[in-house]
Structures are given as structure tokens and as C-alpha cells.
Amino acid sequence: MKRVITYGTYDVLHYGHINLLKRARALGDYLVVALSSDEFNAIKNKKSYYTYEQRKTILEACRYVDLVIPENNWEQKISDIKEYKIDTFVMGDDWEGKFDFLKDYCEVIYLPRTPDVSSTQTKNYLSSKI
């Protein structure tokens, strides 16, 4: 079984997220999503619309996702790769090169982002309508 992992906040889930999850899952047989915890988001100065538990519930409902785990810090990636026996690490190409150090542990792939969509853009649009 080939296992794939990706990381992210996945706030205000949109079709760009679904495209990324679908393409990540197509690279293997089992997709693990490490979802940024609320505490980790605070460290990154990010505030999600939905709580960790709500975002986790949404991701677990996605047919491409097999397991959701918490992302609590930047340093956990190597231990996650080892613990979950990961073969491929996947991130959006806006992170290109940032995780190449993981190539010692697994394949690293940067996928193109879906053009013209982002969580920030969606949240800004929605808040302008209120």
C-alpha cells in the first residue's frame, strides 16, 4: 500500500482544496491529512473560521481522505512520515523547495495550485457580503 501525506489548515474548504486532495490521493492508496490545530494556527498568526474539530469533520467526510491527524508544529513532519509509513509527501507548489529535506525519508511532490481560488479570497468575499 502506498501512503501519501499532506499538510494544511483547510479552512473554508473550496474546490481548490478538493482538487489538491483528489490529486494527492491519486498518487497512492491511502491519504493522511495533517490538519493545523487551532494552537498551531495561533503560532502562525492565522485564525480559522472553523475550529479544528469542525475542519476535521469536514475533511473526514471527503472521499479522498483516509485519515486526519493534528499538525501541532513545523517539526513533526519527519516523525509523521515514520509513524504513518509515508511514501509520498505532497504540498502545493507555492511551497516548492521548502520541504526538500524530507526527500531523505520519502518522495516529495509539489502540486500546482488551482488558479483563482484561495481561502483568504473566499473569506474576504464572504465578509464583504455581511
Catalytic residues: 44, 46
Residue with cell 473566499: 122
Residue with cell 487551532: 38
What the block records as the C-alpha cell of 105 is 525519508
* Type and span of the H or E element at 108: strand 107-111
Query: Can you give the three-state secondary structure of 70-97, one letter per residue?
Result: EECCHHHHHHHHHHCCCCEEEEEHHHCC
Q: Please state, in angstroms and rounded to a whole number, the distance separating the CA atoms of residues 94 and 110.
A: 8
Check if the beta carbon of residue 33 is closer than 8 Å to that of residue 21: yes
